[in-house]
Amino acid sequence: MSKVKFLLREPAAYVPKEKALVISDLHLGIELELKRRGVRIPPLREKLESRVKELARRASAKRLIILGDLKHEIGSSKLVEREIVSFVENVSELVDVTLVQGNHDGKIKEILTGTGIRIFGSGGFKKREFGFFHGHAWPSPELLSCDWLLMGHVHPTIEIVDEFGMRFKEQVWVKSRLIKGKLVKKYSLEEDRKLGRLNLIILPSFNTLLGGANVLKREELLSFGPLFKNGVVDLEKMEIYGLDGVPIFFEK
**Domains detected in the chain:** 5-246 (3.60.21)
pLDDT score, position 126:
97
pLDDT score, position 87:
95
pLDDT score, position 252:
53
pLDDT score, position 209:
84
pLDDT score, position 50:
95
pLDDT in tens, 23-48: 999 999 887 777 777 777 777 889 99
SS3 breakdown of the chain: % helix, strand, coil, rounded to 5? 25, 25, 50
In order, the DSSP letters of 90-155 are HHHTTSEEEEE--TT-TTHHHHTTTS--EEE-TT-EEETTEEE--SSSPPPGGGGG-SEEEE-SS-
Compute φ and ψ for 147, nearest 5 degrees: -85, -30
pLDDT score, position 1:
47
User: What is the pTM assigned to this prediction?
Assistant: 0.92
pLDDT score, position 37:
75
Nearest to 55 by CA among 99, 97, 7: 7
Mean pLDDT by 10 residues, the chain (252 residues): 88 96 94 74 86 96 96 80 94 97 92 94 96 96 96 92 76 95 87 86 92 85 90 92 85 56
